[in-house]
Each structure stands twice: as structure tokens, then as C-alpha cells.
Chains A and B, each alone.
Chain A
């Protein structure tokens, strides 16, 4: 942080919770705050935004829980009249006629839309390099990726051009970019947040979650995201309320460290593993017990995920056919139009996954691929259930490495997929998992992941908060 920042930059240093408090105390006007962020977002040099609100927002009525603190929203959330393109050329300029439930909910709670953030196309990617609108740069080092697929949201929050942001996580798309950008990212229990209005990648895995500067902000945003929605048949809501975390003790907490996701030979970078182990020591000093545990089927999670997610995606993306909306490239006849529209409208990774998914659902292959992957998924969920009989939480490094250089993995999809090695098992199990900043390795952020049983968000946030206080992460390296 340099001296001589102007006043509006100072406003953007506040966490969202602090800004809410300042507004409530009358020390800060929501319009002023919105304008400060609008300016920062408009001046963004990381390609984190695909759209920024043009006018200063009408201040929200006083007394709303989120007090007018603006919100950056991943491109794939539908926002009425505002481009919602899921990072894809095939939806370039598409403006939906309705707003996603969770965005509407947050807006009603007093978090107006600041901008739409860049992402990997249809949330398929771990580096944000699959966006049709160009890669996002990591604010800690602009030669590196921010992670993905919620890379724009993570970079914006880390760089201070958004107080907080919405992302979606299918196999790690909130947690991994949060780790690579040095912020907090939470994937809630599947079903707690409505998916209505989220442009789908893999329906049985997609879940919206917060990307924030600290654990308190994550809890505050999540508080106003969860809830049953009749428009989403898989929506369950949250039993009780999301509480703001407090306390700094982990006394009596049992942490399980799965051999399969953090042991030797898993391929976790040494610096990342060192930071992870240092935090385990810290946890013990806060009163937690740390023991090795086992998730025997976790090594198969990534394989199962890359059958199930592309299968669902191949079907979810069938609607982009050029008939009703989005891009359409005329060609000879109907099939010609379909072929040209989809060939040119989708990027390489999306087409790769459509092909993978189409293949695994095909007659004669279904049982061997999709059916088998579903059985693996069940086993993985069972592994976690068994682990949670013994442990309060399972902890792992979030991503196997720090942010890598742009282009480093684009030629090798498998090495890219391995970024999600530690995050995919929780997605398959549908359980809540948070990534918190865990110190630096070679000057770049690493992430510490903590997960618990379904609907244990309050406990997960509480433990993450205690660790966060103890770690004392210095986030200024990401500020632009």
C-alpha cells in the first residue's frame, strides 16, 4: 500500500462488514461507497470485469442488512437487462429478462450490483484462461493466473475493486481462485443456495458462494444467500441461520488430514505443503487435535468428476443452438446453422467437455462411465461420512500450487484439471468447504481448505475464523 491514496481508495480498504457498520453509524454514505467501487471497477486493469454499472446507484433504503455495500457478480448469474454471458462468445451481449434468485435476494438485502466478473467459459476451467473475453490477471503478479473459474470475482476482491463477490463452485471454482488470490472463498452445502438464474455447467454440482476478504464477510454474505427457493427443485435452504463467527479457540476440535489429499506423492508443491503444515501446528496451538485420516476413494474423485460434470454439461449446453437467443451463424439448413453456431460460439475447452460428456452418456457406454462415476460419487460421500464420525473437519491444502504463469498449463488439460484435485471430492459429496488465505509461498498466496458435514456452515465458518485470526494473513500484496 502506498502513501497518498485518495479518500475513495481508503473506503475500498474496508471489509464489507466494516463498511456496513460505518454506514450504519452514519460515517459513510452508501452512494459514496458505491461510487468509490464503481470507479475502481471501471479502472480495473486485470480484465476482472466484463461489465461495470454505469451510473451511481440509487442509495438503498436505510436499514437494510447489507446497507448498500455493492456486490460484484460472476458473469454466469442472470441479471435482468445486464449482459450475462457466462464468459462465452455464444452468449455475447445476451441480456436476460430476469434476475437470478440469489442476486435478487442479495439486492433486496441491500447489496446492489456493481459489475459482472470475468470467468472461464461456462465455468469450465481453473485459470480463467478459457474466457472468451480474455484471461484475468492475478493481482499479486500480473504474469500469473488468478485461478478459475471464478477468476474475475477473486481478482476483483483481492485487488480491492469489489468489496465482495459472488462466484460459483462446481469442482473448486470458488475455493481455488480464492486460494490463488489470497482471499476467502466458501462453497456452501449443495442445495442451500438457489441455483435459479445461474447459467448451468453441471447441475448436480454447481453451487453459488461468496468470495470475500475475510471469513466474517463470507458469513455475512452467505447469511443473505441461503434459503429455500420454490423455483429450484433441488433447493433445500439452510436449517437455522448463518451466524457471524466469533471466538479464537479450537479447543477440542478434531481435524482430520486425509493422506490421500495431502500426503507424499499427491503432488502438492513444497511451499504450499509447508504453509499447510505450519497452519496445522497453529491449529494445535489453538487447542485442536490433528490426525491423519483416510478418504479411500478420494483419488478417484477427479476421474468421476470429469465423467459426471461433462455429461451434465453436454446436456445443459444443448440449448445454445442459435434458434432463440445468443449467437447464430447462418449456414445451409438447420443442421448447418447448428453446427456453425456451436463450432464458432463455443471455445475449445467447452467443446472438449461436450464431447467427453456426449461420449460417456452414449448408448453402450453409459454404465461403464456415467453409472460407474455415480457409484464412485456415492463412495466418496460415504468416505466423508465415515471421516466425520471421527473428526469435526477435514482439512487439506486448497490447490496443489500457487498461482502459475499464464499459458503454463493451457496446452495440457490434464495438468490443468489437477488443480482441482483437493477441491473436487467435497463437491461430489455436496458438503460445505471454505478456503482461507494461508500465508505466502514464494511471495504468492496459498490456501487452507476446511470442510465439514452437510449444513455445518456455522461450525466451518467458526473454525475458519479462529484460524484466520491466528494466521494473520497480510493481504495488501494483492492490492493494486
Chain B
């Protein structure tokens, strides 16, 4: 391998999704985030002697829905195993998880193939006392068992991802899909969506895989991209200097962007998996499959296709489909009978509205879909200029209300096409900008900007740009 070779990253992702079921995976405790520590516990999720697990039917239902969304094969029979290891956040000394007979196998999302989806229980939360809040240097640690036993779906991809940016983009699609399914809050910061990455690199053109490392727990989309890039860079540096990548589990610190080793292959646990004797196999019945199919909403990929069929551009369709809340807002606005064409409305949602509300859910803003639909209809009818429509949108974002009323109250209405008042204003502007008028007459239509600008100033934006252009051409005999 020469120092000059180009490397190709090979990345597989393991995503843990906390399912938003009513109760925990193997007991009846409620699931909630942010409750006082150790208030959502019972003998079973505390692992008290003599207690037994019972599988949460809603979690299995959600698991089947995820499998359907990913096009997986749904197992007629799947079984839970025990994964044995000691840690204070694991009250039984084992995690109940699926092993060689998972609920779902195969499938794909976008251009990434799915290896498997299985169900398991989350560990409790360790809180390290002391200033750093981290395990090293803390005097003691306490355990909050509220989270212990939360249902998790673990989604494992095939190693089909080729860059950090692709990993991030794909995870965004997965998050939207899961959100659309309604099976999880998919909040990376709160830990309801967690992503580990298996990363190796190999010279471009090489078929054999390089030694992989596992990068743990990147808790935001940004950190995922940064962490994967940092690890790719680290591996490249090792290979270029003639070294070998060591198979190990790594931790990415987003503050320092440093990667540290958690454990080597030799230190890897022997989990002593065996079938959980306290549970019976999950038999996926026809009724369960039907219930999962009936509960399936339209997924982003299908929505994107449907929006395209309405004549919406590829970029807008993807934006609306991948941001569920944006798509929902758009469709609510489209349903208002305002005679607006879908692409114009899509433009207003994806551009003007998103510029104003940012990452917030527009459904939670003061601009109702109804108001936006009316505003876009006013623009289409040339009742208000697009420039003034943006002013109206500012008002709607700030205070809400009815666009027509705002136009009326603030005098933002467009001057009617045949309005006699417009002609003298255009004439004045032509006279005041003789240079520009001359250039226009010579065929340089760009010069019309100066004329329109003055007309807009005079009319406080109420003039219709196209109408102004028509009058200019008329006056100049073009």
C-alpha cells in the first residue's frame, strides 16, 4: 500500500431507538423522560429476586412496523436471549435482547441495506458524582432505574455507507421514517435515538474489508459526522504511516474531538448468550402482522414520490417528505381551497416560511396553514406583490392573524393592473432615470431594475413588477 493511495471508508451503523410505548419492555412501569430518579420502578425492572419479565406487546407491534417500513423479513418466530455481563446499570446482571433469531431481518432504507432489527431492554442510567460528571475522577456513582427496561429497537445496517456525510443524511431519513411511524421520539440529545458506527477504510478498488473499529454513542447528527470523519482520518494516518488499525471499541469526545479507546478486542466481553428461559418465543401471528400493516402511515420515500406526482420539484418534494412536520404543514395548506398551485405553495413553505421559523415545527408557529394558503393565493391573484407578501408573512409569524386583513389594514395591496395611478409613477421614474431608459431601449432589460426599484419605493411595494415592466415597454415603444 503506497502513501499515495486513495482510501474508501466502509461504514455500518447500529442505531438504538427507544420505543415510545406506554410501559417498559418487560414490566408495567410507565415510560417518561425527566421524572425524579427511581420513581418509575417496580420489583421486576429493579431485578429483585423472584421477579420475571413479560414481553411488551406494543413494543413487538412497533418492532414489526419498523420492519415493514424497512422492507425486512418479519420472523414468524423470534426469541429473546440473555446477554450476560456485570454492571451497576444492569440490575439482573444480564440484558434481555434478541440474538440469533431477531424479529426482523434484511430490508433497506434508501440506498443502505438493513442487516437486522431486534428488540431489547435499555440499561439504567448511571450518574457520576463529582465536578466532571464523568466516571473518571468521580467519587461515587448513583443509579437511576427510571430508564432501565425502556424498550429499544436496535437497527443494524449492512456496511453500505461510504462517508460521514452520507451517514448523517441517511440517519436523518431513518429518523424521519421512525417519527412518521410514531414509534419513537427520535431525539438524539435525550438519547431516544443513539448511533454507533463500525468504520473501516480500504484502498479504492480493493474488495477486502479493512480492520474495523466501533465508534460509540455520538449523540447528535453533527457529532456523528464529526466523529466518523475523525475516525476515518485517524485510520488513514495509521495506514499511511505503515501501521495497522487495531480492532477496538472507541469513544469520541465531541468537546475535544479526540478519540479514545474503550476496550480492545481481547478485552471484549464474552456475553454468554443463551435463550431467556423466563420468556416464551415471540410467535408473530397473522393478527399481529395485520395490526402492524394497518398502523403503517405513509413513509417519507412514498410521500416524496406522491409530492413529485403533484408537479413539485425534486428538491422541494424531498425537503417536504423528509421533514415530516414540514410535509404535514404543506399538505394542510394545500387542502385549503385557495386555487394555489402546489409548486408555488411548496416554494413558500420551503423558503420564506423555513427562513422565518428555522428548525421549529411550523405547525406550532402562529402562521396557520390556512393563513399561508390564503397569502399565497393573494400573491397568485396579484392582489399582493410577492415582496409585500413577505412583509405580511413577517406579521403572521409575529402575531398570527388573517393575511387579507393585514394587507387591508396596512395598505399593502397591489395596485391593480389597469390602475391609472401606476402610469404617471412609471413615467416619472423613466424621466428620472434617463440613462436606464436609454439602456432598456437599446435592449438591455437588466437596466429595468432601477425603474422598478423607484416605482416600488413610490408605491411602498404595492406595484406589481410584471405590470410595471409592461408599462415601461409600452412607454418606450418596445
Contact = CB atoms under 8 A, between A and B. Distances in A.
B50 A198 contact: yes
A232 B53 CA distance: 7
A200 interface: yes
Contacts of A77: 50
A454 interface: no
A370 B81 CA distance: 14
A91 interface: yes
Interface string B257-284: 0000000000000101110011110000
A356 to B, nearest CB: 13
Contact of A233 (B54, B82, B274): B54
Nearest to A194: B52
A249 interface: no
Interface string B229-251: 00000000000000000000000
B127 interface: no
Interface stretch (B68-76, B85-93, B182-190): B85-93
A362 B269 CA distance: 10
Contacts of B110: none
A65 B109 CA distance: 61
Contacts of A195: 52, 278
Contacts of A96: 43, 48-50
Nearest to B141: A334
A324 interface: yes
Contact of B49 (A203, A230, A319, A361): A319
A84 B49 contact: yes
Contacts of B279: 233-234
Nearest to B85: A318
B54 A319 contact: no
B170 interface: no
B459 interface: no
Contacts of B270: 362-363
A204 interface: yes
A323 B43 contact: no
Given A86-B49, A338-B86, A363-B270, A324 B91 contact: yes
A321 interface: yes
A76 B280 CA distance: 23
A16 to B, nearest CB: 25
A404 interface: no
A233 B278 contact: yes
Nearest to A196: B52
Interface in A227-243: 230-234
Contacts of B172: none
Interface in A382-418: none
A321 B91 CA distance: 9
Interface string A301-331: 0000000000110110111010111000000
B401 to A, nearest CB: 55
A164 B118 CA distance: 46
Contact of A315 (B50, B54, B143, B274): B274
Given A96-B43, A233-B278, A315 B49 contact: no
A473 interface: no
Contacts of B272: 314-315, 358, 361-363, 366
Interface in B73-111: 82, 84, 86, 88, 91-94
A86 to B, nearest CB: 7
Contacts of B94: 315, 318
A327 to B, nearest CB: 13
A231 B54 contact: yes
Interface in B48-68: 48-55
B84 A318 contact: yes
Nearest to B93: A318
Nearest to B53: A233
Interface in A192-240: 195-200, 202-204, 230-234
Contacts of B280: 233-234
Interface string A12-32: 000000000000000000000
B57 to A, nearest CB: 12
B48 A325 contact: yes
A326 B424 CA distance: 95
Interface string A45-57: 0000000000000
A197 B88 CA distance: 22
B47 interface: yes
Contacts of B47: 319, 324
Interface in A67-97: 76-78, 84, 86, 91, 94, 96-97
B46 A196 contact: no
A100 B48 CA distance: 12
Interface in A312-369: 312, 314-315, 317-319, 321, 323-325, 334, 338, 358, 361-363, 366
Contact of A311 (B46, B88, B274, B278): B274
A199 B274 contact: no
B86 A203 contact: no
Contacts of B274: 311-312, 315, 361, 366, 370
B53 A78 contact: no
A361 B53 CA distance: 21
B277 A204 contact: yes
A62 B93 CA distance: 45
A334 B128 CA distance: 13
A246 B36 CA distance: 59
A263 to B, nearest CB: 33
Interface centre among A77, A98, A323, by most chain B C-beta atoms within 10 angstroms, is A323
Given A96-B43, A97-B43, A362-B270, A321 B52 contact: no
A247 B94 CA distance: 50
Interface string B303-326: 000000000000000000000000
A234 B48 contact: no
Contacts of A370: 274
A361 B273 CA distance: 7
A368 B340 CA distance: 71
Nearest to B279: A233
Contacts of A319: 47, 49, 91-93
Contacts of A84: 49-50
Contacts of A233: 52-55, 278-280
Nearest to A197: B50
A362 B270 CA distance: 7
The 6 closest A-B pairs by CB, nearest first: A318-B93, A361-B272, A203-B277, A204-B277, A78-B50, A197-B50
23 contacts: A78-B49, A86-B49, A96-B50, A97-B43, A97-B48, A197-B50, A200-B278, A233-B55, A233-B278, A233-B279, A234-B277, A312-B274, A314-B84, A315-B272, A318-B93, A319-B93, A324-B91, A325-B49, A334-B88, A338-B86, A361-B273, A363-B270, A366-B274
Given A77-B50, A200-B49, A324-B46, 7 more contacts: A96-B48, A195-B278, A315-B93, A315-B272, A318-B93, A321-B93, A366-B274
